Chain A
């Protein structure tokens, strides 16, 4: 396998982009990435999208986007792994370059969620349709059940859940591409409209439109273009049961534990070597559980860690979701995994502005689908 480098990134602002179609959104992100990378062509492209069929009635997205991006006849493939679609899109591009089959590949992701679909229903298709969704369970409901179990088992508090949202909004307020560029108080989160007990509206990532794209290349291309060498030092993916109820524990996500194990091994590093991490905080409890499963904190101590500021951008020993996370930056499902990579890339390039983590050399992105039935992890390093 060859070394693979990220040399360019582009994304749209995340939010309710009423004036833009799914094509406009993806093409905007793709063009920005190609321009940022300074490449004259791409060998192929991947589009991560969770449910364009339900959201906008459009499938065959690979072909749609290759056409509108003006790159026909390159191979173009849509990748779907629920909310991990973006991360898996990146992994497919990584594997294509690493294998030697291509030298320059665009990995993108997009979702257009505000065109009128029943979003709760569409998102629920990432769970077991016959044995979870049939009974009325929603995604907030699944994560709420994880939260209840975590609170019961480890004493995690409602305040600790809320502290995740407060921190992520504080970071997102500094991100020009974030959907919600404002801070929230602990009281606002605690008093927000109840969605699925114990989760309130401000514990949930929003419904968003957005697109993101990055360019992955071989070492030769990166050197010829005289780009900073930001290398993908790990790419891993794992699966778990589709239904939450089939798992031995509801307070740990098996696919995250397994993917993390593989990623650390591939990169040859320990959790303490990671300088910053973007985690899949689709709900506040998800960030707490994942921060434990990635090995940053002891099992059951993730809530305490965020409350003590250990994951804060300012002064935290392990800054998590410096971009604002899904919570504040927004969660256009298919774009999320790529946007996480972009945050890591910008941090490692020293281009994160007000969100810059000093001396960041190793960054991680953890993206998951459903209630954790899919997890994909990437680790990038400045060479």
Chain B
């Protein structure tokens, strides 16, 4: 991964920084320039809540090459308490015990490595609470 490209997403991946539409209140994660709900273009900066519930999930048994040593990988869509939905891995869990509706919390973890000599890439993963 090119360092600049990785660096651009750090505010979201490390700190869950989002923006909230001034006119309709819709929260965008990542921040957007145009509100998809009302087309508004004025936003306040907000930080997402780090707890939510699992809406759906899967266990990846086969992954792209750079994740292939980590299978099985639990991945799901989490709805955070402020209504924002995100895709994230679910860490530290017996994958066979996962259930839709489970409460989770986001924590900072290593997500991937850029080959043998590249940078380590971090971001959020969910853990069951």
Contacts and interface: CB of A to CB of B under 8 A. Distances in A.
Contact of B85 (A121, A144, A245): A245
Given A152-B100, A245-B77, A245-B87, A135 B123 contact: yes
Interface residues of A, number: 35
Nearest to A250: B56
Nearest to A120: B64
Given A134-B112, A135-B75, A152-B100, A243 B58 contact: no
Contacts of A197: 58-59, 61
B55 interface: yes
A198 B57 CA distance: 10
A121 B68 CA distance: 11
A93 interface: no
B107 to A, nearest CB: 14
A124 interface: yes
B108 interface: no
A138 B64 contact: yes
B44 interface: no
Nearest to A150: B56
A312 B10 CA distance: 50
User: DSSP class of B's interface residues: helix, strand, loop or mixed?
Assistant: strand
Most buried by A among B64, B76, B88, B121: B64
Nearest to A251: B56
B58 A148 contact: yes
A30 interface: no
Interface string B35-75: 01000000000000000000111111111111100100101
B82 interface: no
Interface in A114-134: 118, 120-121, 124, 130-134
B22 interface: no
A124 B63 CA distance: 10
Contact of A196 (B58, B64, B100): B58
Given A121-B64, A130-B30, A136-B112, A245 B59 contact: no
